[in-house]
Structure 1
């Protein structure tokens, strides 16, 4: 058996991978695609743990240079949305989630503290260790302490405080509590925030304002008390310290004591020593003075590295991660002598977590509309298409000529001709489109585009003849101009769903309307329509459940009379066995075989959210599940892909080697490289501004060593960066090489 290209998070990295399709494990049944989004970093038992906003935890072992990943799919983690982590003095790893409490790792075992067993109302924004080993958790208007296996809710601390929300907390040696937060006030009806630093001694508060430090508190990133000194990191103004009632400020302006600007993180390595990370490098305080380490001194290409967080290992090595730019989703190491970007890095297959629509062009290609982008998935490879407009991309459809049509939230219709890579744009100003918010697009047998708008009814557009035929409440039987769905049957019977006017069925220009007043339709707010292979129509409503229409008969399925988990049904699809699958806005997804309902949600599946916006099923019976905030999930009861147990390793092998000769070179050089595993491989050359100047390779390669010629006869003398990337399994490896061209 061959390995199919697997996405981020699709294989079990810890434990055995099942090779049998008929007995697929839960790991094999699920895949997930979502933005990575590193959020925090820590060193635990010699390994680096990196939390992500939607894709679990990444683990890096410096000794073996190997990566692992933990998610709800392949571990006992209860969430994929992770915010903060802390390694405490008892060698416990605490991981906070955005949505459901915390997880704690100790002696190889995870303990889950969620909203059902603790005072947590939802997620955690910050975790700090207090005196005597207590652990403190913050979430704006919640302060919770964990001590001696007991949870203590400090509501009184907030109620008696002049602050309304706590963002960070630290503790001095006398037991005093220091917090940074905000106080809400109003100017008329407008809410405003005043950012304050507070000290609480057990009986009263002392408040420090921005005037005490001489700069704006709203830019504070972190507070930490050590020894007899309070350290305050601000985003724009560097570091301020408070000792014996005296404030001292260290900044890049005006005295250039620190590197700057844009300060990202601060780590205290003792009572008097400190590392500070900013956008241009590191600054180290040795107890007496500051020493600066600019990124560009280690490599000119690192001048715009844009790192985000750092942690210090026991051996003094700094680890950190990068969340944007050329090195997005990479980690780095720094030991004052060397600054190294570690490969592999973790690739974003899609950059949005909100999925609006999923459409199948054929058995090999799927189109996904997201909050800010359009993506295609073909034979295991993702491509992103940037369109020449703005706004959320809602529906998508492929016409008979292979043109991709997309509707946007407020920017009309865009069409992509892939043969010429050109976009066409239709709005109320440039065409006869009746409204710019687009909610539905369908293609009929004549290749005409039926376009549903929000506020303008719908239009039938023949782009070959450039004719527009508009239907609205004034010139047709349409009952509402907010059109949400258009479904065209094989015999050209067309169903129009509206938000407020129920459903219209059009057969050879004859209209039949179904509303709450003339039928059993429970709601006029229609958000989903699809046809079962048996000919019945299924309709989803916003708040009144699911309807099956057979001829003129309607059957209603809602929470009161069935096992459907939620009455807001946003997506409907059918598998090869005839089961109906529905996505709901607050209850996950569910299948119905005519008798029994089977529900999948955050409690019993790897789904990271119960807010499911859309659902579709491909020819392999794989369910494509578009969530709101959690990315895209794929589910198949029989397993997503066939996996050869002999070709899969529990750990991801480490690196790509790359070299070139001669270097420096005049016009031509030979690039030699070795890839550790088979997969899609690309080699690109960039100038020092990050502009792509040449693509040397973009194809599937088997693992091994290769050579390729680079001819730079059309380039000017200078330094260029050669970047090699490979995609194997769910890890993308990369490495770079400086090329010096001298003519």
Structure 2
């Protein structure tokens, strides 16, 4: 039996919460900012004024030294297996090779699955691009780090690499098996190799291939080997009688050189799926090409599958990477199937066929604004016309795009994802919560657990039907979700003016009685406005003095005749785009707002749970309205807020840095008034530090993650990551060249500092040096870290942006 890699019992809960910063969005100065954006509040009257901050002194800086991670430490992985890139059938078992989810074994009769994962199960890499089952029951697996073989008894018996064999390159992209049982191996850079179990024979450009970068392989019924490259100018190469011949684009032949899929239909025809030019068919030296005009869903063909009775299936895509479903050609008619018919996702990467059925490997369709949908394996019963979908998300981790991790009662791990909701793991089973369960949004930004065990989840708005909806803070008491939004925590304020002329519904502006933008900004300092009896809270987008027009979003939901009262809004939660959470010693929930895609933060709201009241702090009391991370210091009783610059009309960026609240007043630290090292835009912009993450250790020292750039006024990736240390008196900055930015910080045992970078993995500070953990020198599955959390047993959980969770520890 295959080792089941999902069982990792958790210990008792830790008293601390995870620390992570925001990994979304590009550094500010390279964004093209919109001209029409939210006008954010400058100050509300109930806020105490910030304390004077000390005169800045030079900050000791060092180019941090990083050593390699110890090899003997134990790693394991949790991953979602629904981004399917390869399929193979073995009786009632479907083998699915996935992107970042390893190999998934689906038992169709039982409806259950098991995963084979790197590193705990010996798989070379969790990107499995192709699967071939040989006559002995061995599964040959093309991975990003070699050719792994899963034996018939369910264990990885060996991985062939350039180090232990004549495999020409470890980046294996395609597999095929010929009639004699030889495995043909396509690589990305080393050409093709044939392996008979003892000997390797390598084919490259030197002996006949058109290129060494192979995209697809096929062996036809005559024993000929076909190689597609997916690149312009290369076409396809065929090995016949020990000689390679390359076929390229021809008006009367192959439609395109960029061939991504090849299939033999068993009836003397070879089918070639191309990038942008449809499908070309070779039969008896004659070529025929089919395109959208003939019935294909798209001219971008990612996979071809051959079914019974001459049925040919085509996975249709688009130049932008999104899918168009699958098209079936029975020799006479064409029919396309999509999610509307029952397909798990319109993005299909793999096709195989069995007895009266077709199988499709699909990938989730994800968007920054709508979240992720679909993915997994779809089965189509050809005779009955029925679809069945198999997904690991139903009983496992919802997604590999991790945004937050926290630990709750009885050591349960709560994992936030970028579009698939929240997954909870009790050490044995996973349970996922989404908007269907009461969550405010499936786009998760942060998670915190309070002293009573209640789980608080920060979400952001998503697009539904062309409008932004949802978001806010959702709280789970163990049985029920309660969501707090701007709409249900705010109320109508005082009348501030009236509408001057009749304004129809669907208008994004209304003429009102304000004399100038200063009067408008002062009256609508909360950032929201209401009209008459309309219950909608409209976002205040700015005021045009010349037209005396108030700009709002969404557009008016009802007509606003002349004389309609215009009201301010007494805001509870400042925004439904929640970016960060922290819980203080009194149980108050601190809610940071903002979105690094448009730098549209609205400040920091505090929810007094016991009294049901809200209070909001904004710039300039804070260093910015764009909150990127929050931390509570139990020893000092302080709340720390990391901020990035935010945008004020007409598109100017201001602010940034760190703010600390001692219960009475705020102190601000920026690149202008302290030793903080972080990126600041060149003049005339008045930005004061782009900070992404923050944590406080047991001694009350603040650790502040940021980034900077030294090679010019316009940053170009990779940036230099910066870890700032502030003990209340002195500043120290550690610079990590070309490592992106510090996306997460966690404190182990009170004083051991772990940091995550968005480009180069994780590090732990030992003395004055960092020990570096990357996907190359450890069991970390990805170098793109978005979250770090430490559980009660001292295990480190690393949430990655694209490959699930890596766990380091006993």
Instruction: Name the TM tier (shorter chain).
Output: 0.5 to 0.7
Cα displacement (A) at 1:405: 3.6
CA offsets, 1:596-647, max 9 Å, x none? 966544356543212221101234434332111111334442xxxxxxxxxx
**SS of structure 1 residue aligned to 2:404:** strand
CA offsets, 1:686-716, max 9 Å, x none? xxxxxxxxxxxxxxxxxxxxxxxxxxxxxxx
Partner of 1:689: none
Is residue 2:76 matched to residue 1:76?
no
Equivalent position to 2:705, from 537, 540, 550 = 540
Partner of 2:98: 52
Cα displacement (A) at 1:340: 11
Equivalent position to 1:496, from 641, 650, 655 = 641
| Alignment of structure 1 residues 691-710 onto 2, 5 Å | none
Change in CA separation of 1:567 and 1:119 when aligned onto 2, cut-off 3 Å: farther
Counterpart CA distance in 1 for 2:458 and 2:232 is 48
Partner of 1:266: 305
Partner of 1:729: none
Cα displacement (A) at 1:566: 6.0
Change in CA separation of 1:420 and 1:237 when aligned onto 2, cut-off 3 Å: same
Equivalent position to 2:472, from 414, 420, 437 = 414
Is residue 2:406 matched to residue 1:359?
yes
Is residue 2:388 matched to residue 1:349?
no
Partner of 2:561: none
Of stretches 219-228 and 349-358 in structure 1, the one that deviates more from structure 2 is 219-228
CA contact (8 A) 1:36 1:347 kept: no
CA offsets, 1:158-199, max 9 Å, x none? 8x68xx986435577697856473539xxxxxxxxxx97788
Is residue 2:148 matched to residue 1:103?
yes
**SS of structure 2 residue aligned to 1:137:** strand
Counterpart CA distance in 1 for 2:461 and 2:750 is 34
Cα displacement (A) at 1:551: 3.4
Partner of 1:570: 743
CA contact (8 A) 2:94 2:105 kept: yes
Counterpart CA distance in 2 for 1:264 and 1:355 is 29
Higher RCO, Cα 8 Å, sep 6+: 2
Partner of 2:421: 374
Is residue 2:5 matched to residue 1:9?
yes
Counterpart CA distance in 2 for 1:594 and 1:364 is 30
Partner of 2:630: 486
Change in CA separation of 1:166 and 1:78 when aligned onto 2, cut-off 3 Å: closer
Equivalent position to 1:243, from 273, 283, 301 = 283
Partner of 1:222: 262
Equivalent position to 1:181, from 224, 230, 234 = 230
Partner of 1:515: 671
Counterpart CA distance in 2 for 1:346 and 1:452 is 29
Partner of 1:39: 85
Partner of 1:112: 160
CA contact (8 A) 1:409 1:437 kept: no
CA contact (8 A) 1:585 1:610 kept: yes
Partner of 2:312: 276
Of stretches 76-85 and 458-467 in structure 1, the one that deviates more from structure 2 is 458-467
CA contact (8 A) 1:407 1:440 kept: no
Is residue 2:727 matched to residue 1:550?
yes
CA contact (8 A) 1:35 1:631 kept: no
Counterpart CA distance in 2 for 1:210 and 1:425 is 60
Partner of 1:617: 790
Cα displacement (A) at 1:530: 0.9
CA offsets, 1:563-583, max 9 Å, x none? xx9684322223347533332
Counterpart CA distance in 2 for 1:597 and 1:438 is 32
CA contact (8 A) 1:625 1:632 kept: yes
**SS of structure 1 residue aligned to 2:230:** strand
Partner of 2:619: 471
Partner of 2:205: 154
The gaps in structure 2 that reach 5 residues or longer are 12-71, 316-324, 365-372, 488-526, 529-537, 541-570, 646-655, 680-688, 708-719
Counterpart CA distance in 2 for 1:211 and 1:199 is 19
Change in CA separation of 1:126 and 1:413 when aligned onto 2, cut-off 3 Å: same
Change in CA separation of 1:220 and 1:199 when aligned onto 2, cut-off 3 Å: same
**SS of structure 2 residue aligned to 1:630:** coil
Cα displacement (A) at 1:267: 3.5
Larger strand proportion, structure 1 or 2?
Answer: 1
Counterpart CA distance in 2 for 1:551 and 1:255 is 69
Counterpart CA distance in 1 for 2:110 and 2:485 is 51
Change in CA separation of 1:68 and 1:45 when aligned onto 2, cut-off 3 Å: same
Partner of 1:127: 175
Counterpart CA distance in 2 for 1:236 and 1:503 is 50
Counterpart CA distance in 1 for 2:245 and 2:303 is 32
Q: How many residues align?
A: 581
Change in CA separation of 1:235 and 1:322 when aligned onto 2, cut-off 3 Å: same
Change in CA separation of 1:170 and 1:283 when aligned onto 2, cut-off 3 Å: same
| Alignment of structure 1 residues 596-615 onto 2, 5 Å | 600-603=773-776, 605-615=778-788
Change in CA separation of 1:119 and 1:434 when aligned onto 2, cut-off 3 Å: farther
CA contact (8 A) 2:677 2:722 kept: no
Change in CA separation of 1:425 and 1:382 when aligned onto 2, cut-off 3 Å: farther
TM-score normalized by the length of structure 2: 0.55
Of stretches 225-234 and 528-537 in structure 1, the one that deviates more from structure 2 is 225-234
CA contact (8 A) 2:741 2:757 kept: yes
Counterpart CA distance in 2 for 1:605 and 1:126 is 26
Cα displacement (A) at 1:370: 1.9
Q: CA RMSD in A?
A: 6.0
Cα displacement (A) at 1:118: 8.0
Counterpart CA distance in 2 for 1:327 and 1:612 is 24
Change in CA separation of 1:425 and 1:513 when aligned onto 2, cut-off 3 Å: closer
Partner of 1:633: 806
Partner of 1:732: none
